[in-house]
Structure 1
Amino acid sequence: MHDYCVIGGGIVGVATAYRLLDRHPGASLLLVEKADALGVHQTGHNSGVIHSGIYYEPGSLKARLCRAGAQQTKEFAAAHDIPFRVCGKLLVATDSAEHARMVTLYERSVTNGVEVELLDTAELVRREPRVTGVGALYVPSTGIIDYQRVTAALADEVRAAGGEIVLGTEITAIDETADAVTVSGPSGSWRAARLVVCGGLQADRLARLAGVDTDLRIVPFRGEYYQLPPDRSDLVHTLIYPIPDPELPFLGVHLSPTIDGGLTVGPNAVLGLSREGYRKGSVDLRDAREVLGYRGFHRVAAANVRTGLREMRNSVFKRGYLAECRRYCPELTRQDLLPREAGIRAQAVRWDGTLVHDFLLERTARSVHVLNAPSPAATSALPIAAHIAAQLDA
């Protein structure tokens, strides 16, 4: 029997294994991942941003853990020769309504202890001549990195500490008793004294397998990206974000330099009908049936009809997507938007239609389930993992 079992090989799961073995040297630990490689879903399909923690509700787990995670990510990367760059981020207001939200966001960032500068139009243009707006927030601590490389380095540390990682193994049953937890699937069965489930896009299903009493459901949202041509990669030098709508969990279409020297634009946010299908038009009948038959999703859709229709239109017609970008970068053209693989966000939604904004963990006597860990989970992975390890030992 193992001391610990971790289900899920994304960055949060692998970081949790790393923290558990660091906390308990010599412990027996097994990590099980359904895919044939680590970090293939949300970890490997994002903008690669090291977030600062500017957006999040003061006192929330996101606010507390993102700031710590940004520093820990940079320290871990430096110690393991993983390239990263602190390029900073500009959040650009393009009209008076966004400017008012920008000032509110500035006040929140101060409360969260994030260093930020309030810029007028002239200073915005001086820093980024190809970006236009009525003002901006500059966050100097934001960076870029490849989170799959971070995950691979964490996995190396897990193996070096004696942990076992099993790939290509789906878990289809979880049985918790008074003295152990048994996880099993077509490939075998394992017992452990403690279990952590970091299921990402499958988090709700794994929780139900374990008998966790929760009313939420994972609703997948596709985030569609474009890649700019190589000769446009110097269009901007910092990350360029719009001022987010506080009513929505998404940050909007942004320009993101990547650690490999590229420049991406995206993502939008449209309903996904396949939790793990990245090609446009992907449909998984089980996934589609579950989301379209879920009352919580119906309520979310009813409350966001205009936003949903706009996102769907922009997904179908490149012109609408381009218009979102040109609000702050008017020289972009349709020819600049080259195809890039989409990402899928695992968004937890409750039965009453409430979107779960914060990280959410659920405990049983012998397990911890991570039920909601969207962005900035990659940035926050190391402190999330420490938080999980502490809960498991409590």
Structure 2
Amino acid sequence: MPESIHTVTALPTTRQPGCPFDPPAELIDAHRHGSVSRFIHPGGRPGWLVTGYDLVRSVLADPRFSARKELLNVGDFEVPPAPPGEFLLMDDPQHRRYRKPLAGKFTVRRMRQLTERIEQITTDCLDAMEKAGPPADLVTAFAKPIPTIIICELLGVPYEERGFFQENIDSFLGGETSEEELIAAYTATQDYLAQLVAAKRANPTDDVLSDLTDSDLTDEELQGISLILLVAGLDTTANMLALGTFALLQHPDQLAALRAEPELTDQAVEELLRYLTVAKTSMRTALEDVELGGRTIEAGTTVVLSSNTANRDPERFPDPHVLDLRRQHGGHLAFGHGVHQCLGQQLARIEMRVAFPALINRFPALRLAVPAEEVALRPETADIYGVKSLPVTWDV
């Protein structure tokens, strides 16, 4: 057992200037002291921070650590349970009850069947970009529309109402709205989802939400499930597409390799997922005393899992801070691990496998329209890391 315990007193922490793709320096430094550090939650309660690959992965797969929202022990206040249907913050059997009806909707086979539609949406976005001419904000012109259209079609959200979703989801996930604005956006989205569920029950159509109405799930549960799918389907992929493009533009050798070798695409997507890890952290609470990395995690203690440092762990990934699209060593934790592993990971993969090559081949001279240090980054307070905007230009 190490003689001393490294302590991290606050999260989030800012990233180093000029290093928008690397985890905050304080987290990398914490990992140098060991895979498990003491952590003080913002509410003042003591906890633990896990930064190493093997230990993060083990906690995510260990039923002795709970994902239940109401068990979070982060301050001198009670945390309410997750609303019905919001299964990411639940344990089995409740988690399994909600997830099981969805599993068949997001299989590899079913997601591959969407490839042609994803290709068409991507082409439409690129056509609009080309027609409008440079410069463009890649976030609004490309990164957001692709996953927005796909997830809304899967849920059966009418085309004309998708802008409403994007605006409100941005408000409560962007990390920069006031509490009042956040509550207003969340409430507006929930009110709409309640109406959407009612409409699908009355007149089912060919979509996932309509399929789920033919089950024992209540309207409130369907509303919660829909919110999870919307948030997960929009925000994570949109930020991967924008931040991933930024990373490629800052690594011209890797960009050139991907353009010259289309067979690298699948590998490249996995490496970008590892390298960027836009879903930075998660939390679990110990249900009993657990030995972890030579430390005793006491029952009731909430542990912060740092996925971005786990995916940069040199014991798992050689030269972890290098973006290498030819990297062979996979097994990243960008989609989590265990029973809560991202349900929509295959959809996200296909969207990226289609979108990145289409973009860089349509615009061979694509480049930033501003200096890299002027690209506006999402704050670390945002649940999902990324860029707020990505000004790009190209030769006409």
**TM-score above 0.5, yes or no:** no
Larger relative helix fraction = 2
User: TM-score normalized by structure 1?
Assistant: 0.24
More strand per residue: 1
TM-score normalized by structure 2?
0.24
